[in-house]
Structure 1
Amino acid sequence: MRFLKHYHDSYLSYFLMYFFFFFSLAFFSGFISVYLMDQGYSASQVSFVVSCSYILSVIVQPFIGKLNDQYESRYVNSILLLTAAIMGIIFIFLKNIYLIAFAYSLVLAITNGTNPIIERMAILSRFKYGSIRVWASIGYAIATIISGFIYKNIGPYSLYIFFALGELLCVIGILGTHSILPPVEKTNQKISMTSVLKIKHIPFYLIIVCLFYGVTNVHHLYLPAMLKQSGLPINYVSTVIFMSTLSEVPVILLSRFYMNSFTNKQLLMSCFIFLFIQFFTFSFIPSLIVQVIIVFLTKTVATMAFVMINLKIISTIVDHARQNSALSFVSACKSFSSILFQMLAGYLIDFTGYQMFYFVLFICSIIGMILVFFFKVPTNKDLKVFH
Structure 2
Amino acid sequence: MRVFKNSYLAYLLMYMCYYLSWALFSSLISVYLLDLGYKASQVSAVVSTSFIASMLSQPLIGWLNDRMGIKKVTWLLLFLTIPGALLMIATQNLLLITLAYSWVLLLVNGSIPVMEKIATSSPFTYGKIRIWGTIGFALGSQFAGLIYERIAPYAVFLAFIISMLLTLLGIWGTEVDEDVHLAKTPQLSAPDSTRKALFHNQTYLFYLFIAMLFSGVTNAGHTYIPAMLEASGFTVQRVSSIVALAVLFETPLTLFSYKFMDQLSSSRLFKLTTLFVMLQFMIYALELGPMSKVIVTLLGKHTTGMLFIMLNMKIVSSLVDKRYLITALSLVQVFRSLGSILTQSVVGQIIDRWSYSAMCWFLAMVALIVYGLLHKISLPDGRNQNLFSKS
After superposition, the Cα gap between the structure-2 partners of 1:40 and 1:287, relative to the gap in structure 1 and judged at 3 Å, is farther
Cα drift, residue 135 of structure 1: 0.5
After superposition, the Cα gap between the structure-2 partners of 1:293 and 1:41, relative to the gap in structure 1 and judged at 3 Å, is farther
Match of 2:185 in 1: 187
Match of 1:47 in 2: 44
Match of 1:138 in 2: 135
- After TM superposition, the structure 1 = structure 2 runs for residues 22-61 of structure 1, keeping only pairs within 5 Å, are 22-37=19-34, 39=36, 44-61=41-58
* Alignment deviations for residues 136-177 of structure 1 (CA, whole Å, 9 cap, x no partner): 011111222232333444454433222222111111111111
After superposition, the Cα gap between the structure-2 partners of 1:152 and 1:270, relative to the gap in structure 1 and judged at 3 Å, is farther
Q: Distance in 1 between matches of 2:358 and 2:149?
A: 30
Structure 2 SS opposite 1:127: coil
Cα drift, residue 38 of structure 1: 5.0
Match of 1:359 in 2: 361
Cα drift, residue 19 of structure 1: 0.2
Q: Distance in 1 between matches of 2:272 and 2:160?
A: 33
Q: Give yes or no for the alignment of 1:262 onto 2:254.
A: no
Residue identity matched to 1:184: L
Cα drift, residue 34 of structure 1: 4.2
Structure 2 SS opposite 1:358: helix
TM-score, normalising length from structure 2? 0.90
Structure 1 SS opposite 2:187: coil
* Alignment deviations for residues 65-104 of structure 1 (CA, whole Å, 9 cap, x no partner): 1111122322311221122232123224544444333322
Q: Distance in 2 between matches of 1:361 and 1:184?
A: 40
Match of 1:320 in 2: 322
After superposition, the Cα gap between the structure-2 partners of 1:185 and 1:293, relative to the gap in structure 1 and judged at 3 Å, is closer
Residue 384 of structure 1 is aligned with which of 374, 379, 386? 386
After superposition, the Cα gap between the structure-2 partners of 1:353 and 1:91, relative to the gap in structure 1 and judged at 3 Å, is farther
Q: Which moved more, 1:180-189 or 1:232-241?
A: 180-189
Match of 2:172 in 1: 175
Residue identity matched to 2:268: Q
Structure 1 SS opposite 2:3: helix
Q: Distance in 1 between matches of 2:151 and 2:286?
A: 37
Identity of aligned residues (%): 37
TM-score, normalising length from structure 1? 0.91
Residue identity matched to 1:247: F
Indicate the RMSD between aligned Cα atoms, in angstroms.
Answer: 2.2
Q: Distance in 1 between matches of 2:290 and 2:89?
A: 33
Cα drift, residue 309 of structure 1: 0.6
Match of 2:338 in 1: 336
Match of 1:375 in 2: 377
Check the 8 A contact 1:144/1:241 in 2, yes or no. Answer: no
Check the 8 A contact 2:78/2:168 in 1, yes or no. Answer: yes
Count of residues in Structure 1 that have an aligned counterpart in Structure 2: 384
Residue identity matched to 1:52: T
Q: Which moved more, 1:340-349 or 1:329-338?
A: 340-349
Structure 2 stretches lacking a partner, 5+ long: none
Match of 1:127 in 2: 124
Match of 2:80 in 1: 83
Q: Distance in 1 between matches of 2:42 and 2:8?
A: 42
Check the 8 A contact 1:44/1:350 in 2, yes or no. Answer: no
Q: Distance in 2 between matches of 1:332 and 1:129?
A: 24
Q: Which moved more, 1:286-295 or 1:40-49?
A: 40-49
Cα drift, residue 41 of structure 1: 5.0
After superposition, the Cα gap between the structure-2 partners of 1:373 and 1:222, relative to the gap in structure 1 and judged at 3 Å, is same
